Amino acid sequence: MKKLAVLLFALTIISNLCSAQKASHTFALGDSTFLLDGKPLQLISGEMHCTRIPRAYWRQRMKMAKAMGLNSIGTYVFWNAQEPLEGKYDFTGNNDIAEFVRIAKEEGLWVVLRPSPYVCAEWEFGGYPWWLLKDKTLKVRSKDPKFLKYYHDYIMQLGKQLSPLLVTNGGNILMVQIENEYGSYSNDKEYLDINRKIFREGGFSGLLFTCDGPTQLPAGYLPGYLPAVNGLDDPKAVKALINKYHDGKGPYYIAEWYPGWFDSWGTPHAGSNADKDAKKLDEVLTAGISINLYMFHGGTTRDFMNGANMNKKDPYDPQTSSYDYDAPLDESGNPTAKFYKFREVIEKHLPAGEKLPAVPATNKAMAIPNINLVSRAALFSNAGVPVVSAKPLCFEDLNQGYGFVLYRTTLKNAASGLLKIKEMRDYATVYLNGKRISVLDRRFKQDSLQINNAKKGDVLDILVENNGRINYGPFLIDNRHGITEKVTLNDTELTGWKMYKFPFSTVNSFKYLANKAAGKLQPALYKGTFTLKAVGDTYLDLHGYGKGFVFLNGHNLGKYWNIGPQQTIYIPAGWLKKGINEIVVFDELKSGHTKISALNHPILNEVVKE
């Protein structure tokens, strides 16, 4: 009997623990507010993306969110990060979206999940995987059965990860967005309803919603489901718009409020007025409207995952790797003046007796010494085995998503005249017999150059970079990269191409030699090491370099470009090592680099160099 009693007692404890873990809430739409367990809940949310933040810092960023007064986190999920290759899913490391959500719960934060396969977010191809473009007939964001199958399969996998974390299942995900700014693209309500059905099949029960800009909302909302609004912060206008398309009632949710903006290459760093933003936040909260700050913390778009804007009037416009966004937390996660102003506003709206937690200490920052670059790998000397074709093949036909492709042909006849690359995407350096003769930039609609006195047998090289697929607007359907059509010289098509693939998923396979005289002005990788006794957040200074990217200890840190605004690169402490660190810099425009200078950056000024 005694053993039986002990067993029953143990089973009772286990049962109670399981019940506690599965304890669920109700989350519903009231006429004017959201209702959590039947009581009004005003969402004060901030956007963060797990893929843009080093995993080791997820919890610290959540604590900062709580300290500013946020009660929830808005987050996109990037399909092309979760399924980088067809049928190959990655929910590990920085792509572990479920763990990101669980940490938010542990830190007392609700989550508004935004897993629409299209996200925009200044992210490569708006979140769609590049491999969808391998089929020239497939049309993304449509009722194309081929697209819907890939979409369906992905959401089924995502549902396995995230549906257990819904608020109705004891988790902290309050509601789920099924499409994103669809009104900027089309107005097919049947397509929107297909989205809804796929999400339901994937296990996403509970509240579903859409969000659109104020002029897009009529086309982009799904009747019967909450229409949230982006970029509108006048309380009366927000309420009137949502009332119009939601049966005369709320709740009222600004899914994207912009107290900052993103940066594009070749433009000044974007920003906003913190005092004006704080005043507007106060007005919205006073009106009882729920809000999501886009962004609370932007982080960094690493690897080659930056997107680009383009529409019928504006030219191609790629974005920087830094996604600082002039947000309350800067790129390295430190609170800005905007953070403290917003904290003061939110504190005014706390229920009686509640206090905000103290602001966590900032991360340790440090400066690193000058880094000597002792070896060099010339790109053209590391070309490897080519793909041979009569006509040039685009990236997708070469089964390559990102990076560079070197297109090479030998001229069959002597010629002078106009060399034209039809539909070149996005940035090309052109060489004749190894000497650079031109740079072509899609931003300026450049696709041609004059060639003089070329001889039969001359070697023509065109190194083409994917500078970021378009992430917004109607050109989503036209996103293939490289040389997508043909090359002509004096209106005669050039044939007989060799294509060398440089995806730069790693830089370990290149043959490095001693870094001596620069030689010809050709693209190259420069390698060096440096030793640290301690680690901390820091930045690299790439002033004096041309255009390229940086690898540190195997991590692709992102891009730099001498046209600005980004010529420094943030390094999180977790990617540095005590002892020897290895760095590789690729530069396609300038040569002869021998060092990277230590950076005099504001967050490093009072830190002793290691």
Which tens digits make up the pLDDT trace of 247-302?
999 999 999 999 999 999 999 999 999 999 999 999 999 999 999 999 999 999 99
Q: Name the residue with higher pLDDT: 607 or 404.
A: 404
- Of 552, 502, 546, the closest CA to residue 527 belongs to 552
Residues 6+ apart with CB under 8 A from 515: 373, 374, 375, 376, 526, 527, 593, 594
The average confidence (pLDDT) of the chain is: 93
| Average pLDDT of the segment spanning 42-61 | 98
The answer for 80, left when phi > 0, alpha when psi is -120 to 50, beta otherwise, is alpha
Per-residue pLDDT reduced to its tens digit, 334-365? 999 999 999 999 999 998 889 999 999 998 89
Residue 124's CB: how many other CB atoms inside 10 A? Answer: 29
Question: Where does residue 142 rank: exposed (0-12), middle (13-18), buried (19+ CB within 10 A)?
Answer: middle
- pLDDT for 602 equals 55
Q: What percent of the chain has pLDDT over 70?
A: 94
Out of 154-158, 309-313, 513-517, least confident range: 513-517
- Look at residue 604 in the predicted model and tell me its pLDDT: 56
Asked whether residue 588 carries a pLDDT value surpassing 50, the answer given is yes
Which sign does the torsion angle of CA 495, 496, 498, 499 carry?
positive
pLDDT value of residue 13: 41
Q: Which of the residues are catalytic?
A: 181, 256
Residue type, 378: A
304-342 pLDDT per residue, tens:
999 999 988 889 999 999 999 999 999 999 999 999 999
Note the pLDDT of residue 24: 79
Percentage of the residues of the chain whose pLDDT score is greater than 90 = 90
- Tokens 């119009």 identify what position? 244
Q: Is the pLDDT of residue 177 over 70?
A: yes
Reported confidence tier of residue 600, pLDDT bands at 50, 70, 90: low
For range 219-234, the mean pLDDT: 97
| CA–CA distance, 167 with 108 (Å, rounded to integer) | 13
C-alpha separations of 119 from 208, 211, 276, 306 in Å:
16, 11, 28, 13
Residue 552 has pLDDT above 60, yes or no: yes
Q: Which of the four pLDDT bands, split at 50, 70 and 90, describes residue 15?
A: very low
pLDDT for residue 609 = 37
d(CA 40, CA 28): 10
Confidence category of residue 478, pLDDT binned at 50, 70, 90: confident
Q: pLDDT-derived band of residue 21, with 50, 70 and 90 as boundaries?
A: very low
For the segment 412-457, what is each residue's pLDDT rounded down to a tens digit? 999 999 999 999 999 999 999 999 999 999 999 999 999 999 999 9
Q: What is the pLDDT of residues 457-472, one digit of tens each?
A: 999 999 999 999 999 9
Mean pLDDT confidence for 478-489: 96
**Number of helices (H), then strands (E), in the chain:** 10, 32
